[in-house]
Structure 1
Amino acid sequence: MKEITAIIRPKKVTRTKEVLDSLGFPAMNASRVMGRGKQRAILDEVNFEIDDPALLEMEGAMKYIPKRMISLVVPDEEVALVVQAIIKVNHTGQIGDGKVFVSPIEEAFRVRTSEQGDNAIT
């Protein structure tokens, strides 16, 4: 089993969720997160005025950019399919498209039924 964590643009969450659901992966966690890549800002990524000087690092740059983080656990043999789907939906070719991380999961348990391993995630 692997955990796939993706940091994506907020406006891409719905489409990402729809595509993963259509591939048979409806279960995921999603969170609002703040962060930034090495570019330190993305023009036009946010559509509101920033009045808090603590959020501004320098003109044209933000300390943190609103993003969404999705996370799901999939069987090893499905990792490539899920990663490619996330990349395809979120790729614009522009700075800020996001990142995808794949991490090993030692074990999973479904609390309600006590199922373990792949049975707990399918």
Structure 2
Amino acid sequence: MKEIRAYIQPYMLNHVTHALMEIPDFPGMSVSNCEGFGRERAETGNEYQPFYGKKRIEIFAADDMAGIIFDTIMRIAHTGHHGDGKAYIVDAIQGGRISTGEKGPELA
């Protein structure tokens, strides 16, 4: 099982969501607001740099779906402008459904 984690521009969330929902057997996702900064702080020298708002997407999926989901996010969230965001694929060792007590590496 893999976790796909992405930080994207807020205005791209609807586009990304619609594209992901077209993937057969898409497992679902969580979305939250977050703030942060990256390389852009180097461009401002020592001046105060405010945090930039992004949407954080978290998706847990089977290993064979992770690449498709990752590639979809990378393609759809891309505008070509600085600050489009980042995406990662991270190993998830085990998952569990709290409501049923099921556990296992295949639970996405």
TM (norm. structure 2) is 0.85
Q: Distance in 2 between matches of 1:6 and 1:17?
A: 12
Kindly tell me the number of residue pairs found equivalent between the two proteins. 103
Q: Highest CA radius of gyration, 1 or 2? A: 1
SS of 1:120 mapped into structure 2 = coil
Corresponding residue of 1:31: 32
Verify the 8 A CA contact 2:94 2:107 in the aligned structure 1: no
Runs in 1 of length 4+ with deviation above 3 angstroms?
A: none
Corresponding residue of 1:113: 100
Corresponding residue of 1:95: 82
Name stretches of at least 5 consecutive residues in structure 1 with no aligned partner.
42-55
Corresponding residue of 1:15: 15
RMSD: 1.9
Give the direction of change, closer, same or farther, for the CA distance of 1:19–1:5 in structure 2 (3 Å limit): same
Structure 1 residues 32-75: Cα deviation after superposition (integer angstroms, max 9, x where no partner): 0011121139xxxxxxxxxxxxxx82xxxx32001110001011
Q: Distance in 2 between matches of 1:112 and 1:92?
A: 40
TM (norm. structure 1) is 0.76
